[in-house]
């Protein structure tokens, strides 16, 4: 019962924060009426309540419980934590229009469909660390994918000479691209650490039950490595950067 009450309040705060940002962006000059700080406060309240739920459903005495819907809820929470932390330093809060409601959705399904799969017993801290870094890498690359989608919309509207509307409320195209590659760079580093720690801590990265994850992760690593190299060597940007980012995220 307590989980339902806390979860319901957290989901409400997620949705209010996302709506706040949406209204702020739609009005494009409504910073005074809808200050970004209000949305961030609501968002932090949501992730704190969500963390209380996860402390009971994921971090169990028997070990790390990452059944499918638990893992989904934990990933949604971590994506929002990364977003809100980044928004304290950089103008990325508009990604919350998509990411914050997704956090509410993952929280809801985690509570409605409880699942159990202990992936690490107590004391297996290297394996737990490997899993947590992997999910953090996924969280950062998920934000990069959302940023790439927003960048694609921005690029399309500018190409078709439609600079008005919500574009007035987001940073210029060059700054949006810089933010995108900063997210990709950080996510790529964590993905590299994930693969390296997997080789160290897992007995067989190509065992039957993890082979597909290993192969897809290696392909994603290659895609993002090529993208970062192309950015450094050839100055890739625009549609090229967007396509490579979304391809890597899919893998």
DSSP 151-174: HHHHHHHHHTT---GGGGGS--HH
Please check whether residue 34 is in contact with residue 24, taking contact to mean a CB–CB distance below 8 angstroms.
yes
Given a cut of 90, whether residue 210 has pLDDT beyond it is: no
Structure tokens that stand for 66 in this block: 């990452």
**Domain's final residue, options 122, 144, 174:** 122
Do 223 and 239 belong together in one domain? Answer: yes
Structure tokens that stand for 96 in this block: 């919350």
Do 38 and 129 belong together in one domain? Answer: no
Given a cut of 60, whether residue 224 has pLDDT beyond it is: yes
Q: What confidence score (pLDDT) does residue 78 get? A: 95
More confidently predicted of 138 and 198: 138
Rounded Cα distance between 145 and 139, Å, is 10
Given a cut of 90, whether residue 36 has pLDDT beyond it is: no
Given a cut of 60, whether residue 165 has pLDDT beyond it is: no
Do 97 and 164 belong together in one domain? Answer: no
When pLDDT is cut at 50, 70 and 90, the band that residue 166 belongs to is low
Q: What confidence score (pLDDT) does residue 119 get? A: 78
Q: What confidence score (pLDDT) does residue 178 get? A: 92
Do 103 and 130 belong together in one domain? Answer: no
Residues 66-76 have a mean pLDDT of 92
Do 58 and 139 belong together in one domain? Answer: no
Do 181 and 86 belong together in one domain? Answer: no
Q: What confidence score (pLDDT) does residue 204 get? A: 63
pLDDT tens figures, 126-145:
888 888 899 999 999 999 99
Contacts with 205 (C-beta within 8 Å, 6 or more apart), sequence order: 198, 199, 211, 214
| Interhelix angle 2-27/36-57, nearest 10 degrees | 150
Domain count, the chain: 2
Do 112 and 129 belong together in one domain? Answer: no
Do 114 and 170 belong together in one domain? Answer: no
Q: What confidence score (pLDDT) does residue 29 get? A: 52
Which helix or strand (DSSP H or E) is residue 60 part of? strand 59-60
Specify the range with the lowest mean pLDDT, choosing from 72-76, 106-110, 200-204: 200-204
Nearest Cα to 150, choosing from 226, 220, 245? 245
Please check whether residue 140 is in contact with residue 127, taking contact to mean a CB–CB distance below 8 angstroms.
no
Do 164 and 85 belong together in one domain? Answer: no
Please check whether residue 169 is in contact with residue 32, taking contact to mean a CB–CB distance below 8 angstroms.
no
Given a cut of 60, whether residue 32 has pLDDT beyond it is: no
How much is the pTM? 0.87
**Domain's final residue, options 74, 90, 122:** 122
When pLDDT is cut at 50, 70 and 90, the band that residue 169 belongs to is low
Given a cut of 60, whether residue 208 has pLDDT beyond it is: no
Contacts with 89 (C-beta within 8 Å, 6 or more apart), sequence order: none
Residue-range definition of the domain harbouring residue 186:
123-251
pLDDT tens figures, 42-57:
999 999 999 999 998 8
When pLDDT is cut at 50, 70 and 90, the band that residue 8 belongs to is very high
Q: What confidence score (pLDDT) does residue 159 get? A: 79
Tell me how far CA of residue 159 lies from CA of 109, 114, 165, in angstroms: 39, 46, 15
Given a cut of 60, whether residue 116 has pLDDT beyond it is: yes
Specify the range with the lowest mean pLDDT, choosing from 3-17, 154-168, 228-242: 154-168
Do 133 and 79 belong together in one domain? Answer: no
Nearest Cα to 140, choosing from 68, 97, 192, 211? 192
Using CA of residue 246, residue 207, residue 117, residue 49, what is the dihedral sign?
negative
Do 129 and 54 belong together in one domain? Answer: no
**Domain's final residue, options 122, 148, 171:** 122
Do 42 and 71 belong together in one domain? Answer: yes
């Amino acid at each position: 019962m307590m989980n339902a009450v806390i979860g319901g309040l957290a989901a409400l705060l997620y949705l209010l924060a996302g709506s706040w940002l949406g209204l702020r962006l739609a009005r494009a000059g409504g910073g005074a009426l809808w200050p970004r700080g209000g949305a961030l406060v609501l968002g932090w309240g949501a992730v704190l309540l969500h963390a209380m739920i996860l402390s009971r459903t994921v971090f169990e005495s028997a070990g790390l419980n990452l059944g499918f819907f638990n893992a989904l809820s934990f990933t949604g929470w971590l994506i929002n934590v990364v977003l809100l932390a980044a928004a304290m330093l950089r103008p990325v809060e508009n990604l919350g229009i998509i990411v914050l409601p997704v956090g509410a959705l993952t929280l809801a399904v985690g509570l409605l469909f409880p699942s159990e799969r202990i992936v690490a017993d107590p004391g297996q801290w290297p394996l737990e660390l490997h899993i947590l870094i992997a999910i953090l890498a996924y969280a950062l690359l998920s934000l990069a994918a959302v940023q790439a989608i927003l960048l694609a919309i921005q690029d399309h509207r500018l190409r078709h000479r439609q600079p008005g509307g919500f574009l007035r409320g987001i940073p210029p195209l060059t700054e949006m691209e810089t933010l995108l590659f900063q997210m990709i760079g950080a996510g790529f580093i964590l993905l590299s650490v994930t693969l390296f720690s997997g080789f160290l801590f897992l007995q067989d990265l190509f065992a039957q039950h993890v082979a597909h994850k290993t192969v897809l992760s290696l392909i994603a690593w290659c895609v993002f490595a090529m993208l970062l190299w192309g950015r450094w060597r050839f100055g890739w940007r625009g549609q090229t950067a967007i396509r490579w980012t979304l391809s890597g995220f899919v893998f």
